[in-house]
Amino acid sequence: MTESTPPDDSSKKTTPSRSWKRRVSVILLIILVLLVIGGIGAAPYWTPLLPWAPRADQRDDLADRLDRIEQRLGAIDSLATRLAALERKPAPDAGALVAPLQGQLGDLQARLDRDEAALTRLTKDQTSSGDSAERVLIVSLANLGNAIASSRPFATELASVEALGQTRPGWAASLKPLEEPAKTGIPGTAILAQRFSDTTAAAILRAEASGPTGSMSYGDAIMARLRSLIVVRRVDGPSGSGRPVDAAVATADAALAHGDLAGAVAALDNLSGAPAQAAASWLKDAHQRLQAEDAIAKLAQQVSSDLAAGTSGG
């Protein structure tokens, strides 16, 4: 009879051990997950303690900079909207703008015709009655002044005054600057004011914004460019923006609205660089207008003084 071998129960002994280890692993995993979740939830309390965490003043500074950037972007969006609205606006009727100037030119031409008729009569009276040369000369000066005011060429009238006053001291030098513009005429104050409002003012502001300097930020350069495309005509005096070019344009515009050509020229004479170049053509015509009017006024005053004193300058 054979001896029986006892059953191997090693498998029974290892089963509880493996189950216990599995339970411990699950518990440790759950604890780890809870620690991670708790750490994330408490981040606002422990992240400031890290050496690389931003300080409170740095966070405030970043917030302020973001606010300023948002405000700048909002301003640019507003200007872009206004610019788009202006581009959609229909162009003004050129005929309506020119009509008042045509009426003024018609009035000046009528005055010129009357003065020419008066000059003809006075010349005939001078020939028949031996009237003084000062009376004929002062009428010739008035005729020249009316021709200059009409914005048309005045070479004939200038030649007449030069011939009558050729023996008077200083007359040739006073009339010399008028010889060049006499061939084409000098734009009148009304025409110069309209030209400034239509083209010159905008050209000056565009010239200021056309080349941003190194000290300007990109946002400032964009805003300067947009500002140059939107020209608002002011009627309440100089600009309060603090920019010299803006103030000069606003002052000149306000002066021209009151017929003060000399005031407008004085406001623009101090421009420099690109804005001065943009205003150069307009300033040349304005200076010629002022110079011509001043010369006529001074010569007429001389003749009037001689006439009142009963002397002859010839």
Q: Tokens at residue 305, please? A: 């003084």
**Is the distance from CB of 275 to CB of 252 less than 8 angstroms?**
no
Q: How many CB atoms lie within 10 A of CB 199?
A: 13
**Is the distance from CB of 259 to CB of 192 less than 8 angstroms?**
no
Whole-number pLDDT of residue 139? 85
- Give the integer Cα–Cα distance in Å for 293 and 287: 10
What are the sequence ranges of the domains in the chain?
96-186+302-309, 189-288
**Mapping DSSP to helix (H, G, I), strand (E, B) and coil, where does residue 254 land?**
helix
Whole-number pLDDT of residue 244? 87
Whole-number pLDDT of residue 167? 84
- Give the integer Cα–Cα distance in Å for 132 and 210: 60
- Give the integer Cα–Cα distance in Å for 132 and 200: 47
| CB neighbour list of residue 148: distance below 8 Å, 6 or more residues apart | 154, 178, 185, 186, 289, 292, 293, 296
Q: Tokens at residue 306, please? A: 């001689």
Model pLDDT for residues 116-166, shown as the tens digit of each residue: 666 666 555 554 444 467 788 888 888 888 888 888 898 888 898 888 888
**Is the distance from CB of 226 to CB of 79 less than 8 angstroms?**
yes
- Give the integer Cα–Cα distance in Å for 290 and 288: 6
Whole-number pLDDT of residue 129? 43
Q: Tokens at residue 180, please? A: 């060049």
Whole-number pLDDT of residue 286? 93
The whole model's pTM is what?
A: 0.53
**Is the distance from CB of 269 to CB of 252 less than 8 angstroms?**
no
| CB neighbour list of residue 187: distance below 8 Å, 6 or more residues apart | 151, 195, 285, 289
Between the CA atoms of 236, 239, 244 and 248, what dihedral angle is there, to the nearest 10 degrees? -20
Query: What H or E segment, with its residue span, contains residue 205?
Result: helix 201-209
Closest CA to 283 of 245, 252, 240, 243: 252
Each as own residue / partner, the long-range contacts of residues 232-240 (CB below 8 Å, 24 or more positions apart, any chain) are 233/197, 233/201
- Give the integer Cα–Cα distance in Å for 28 and 34: 10
Q: What Å distances lie between residue 10 and 5, 14, 30, 290, CA to CA?
A: 14, 6, 31, 123
**Is the distance from CB of 194 to CB of 257 less than 8 angstroms?**
no
Q: How many CB atoms lie within 10 A of CB 296?
A: 21
pLDDT < 70 stretches in the chain:
1-17, 39, 41-59, 87, 90-102, 112, 115-132, 209-242, 310-314
Closest CA to 229 of 210, 215, 214, 242: 210
Whole-number pLDDT of residue 235? 40
Query: What H or E segment, with its residue span, contains residue 105?
Result: helix 94-129
